[in-house]
Amino acid sequence: MNIHILTPEAVRERLAQGVILVDVRSPDEFARERIAQACSIPLERLARGDRTGLPPKGAVMFYCRSGNRTRLGAATLAACAAGEAYILDGGLDAWKRAGLPVQADPGQPLELSRQVQIVAGGLVLAGTAAGAWLSPWFLLLPGFVGGGLVFAGLSGFCGLARVLMRMPWNRRFRDAVSAASARPPPDEGAFMKINIGTIDRIVRLILGLVLIVLAANGTIGWWGWLGLVAVATSLFRFCPLYAVLGINTCPLKSRG
């Protein structure tokens, strides 16, 4: 089944006609900002064949942040829809550029993926500085972070993200997602599998391998630069690795 591309205005018209709109971003992104009529069904869940929440018949519209995820997952989205499948051209960014309303909760915490980037980059910077000025043993810390990133890339499970999920400031978005989607909040293990998409896993794997190689060689300076890149990726929502991998907009830019 083919998937059709709609402008924001066309999506608004179909929403008025009762067509279902699905947000395929991660739950934490959805809780922070979304189109009011949308429900949350992450793309990673649809890719596993879980159609829970989709209508048994009729058309379905899908959107992400910038349109990258819906374009890359077009075949999956078309297969999941019982009727016609549509995607919002340009995603939520295009919707806002068209002056259409969104439902936002600025009190929600940063997206979990960005929190992971900040903490991982901060640990690399701290280990590098301590290794240079205090003791070379502290250089094991960037290597440990690299090993964790490699494991996250290979398995899709991120222990650091699970730890961050238990922090008090990350509890609010679960209730927001549950209320907005009329489904019980996901358990933490399932959330972690949803939140780490394929592209993110590749990036974690590459960063982790680079960190391990640098740790083995004792290249202190490069560790610090890599830590800075990781932190900047999260704060400024731009990652050169995504461009190298052929993704024009970094998924960390609300993972669109």
Active site residues: 64
For 236, other C-beta atoms within 10 Å of its C-beta total 11
Q: Smallest Cα–Cα separation from 8: which of 53, 68, 61?
A: 61
The answer to whether the CB of 255 falls within 8 A of the CB of 197 is yes
- Could you write out the three-class secondary structure of 136-161? HHHHHHHHHHHHHHHHHHHHCCCHHH
What DSSP state is assigned to residue 61?
E
Q: List, in sequence order, every residue forming a beta bridge with 87; answer none if it has no partner.
A: 5, 62
Widest distance between CA atoms in the chain: 66
**Two tokens, residue 98:** 């068209």
β-bridge pairing 103-104 and 33-34: antiparallel
End-to-end CA distance of the chain: 23
The answer to whether the CB of 212 falls within 8 A of the CB of 148 is no
Burial of 101 (0-12, 13-18, 19+ CB in 10 A): exposed
Contacts of 237 (CB under 8 A, 6+ apart): 114, 250, 252, 253, 254
The answer to whether the CB of 193 falls within 8 A of the CB of 44 is yes
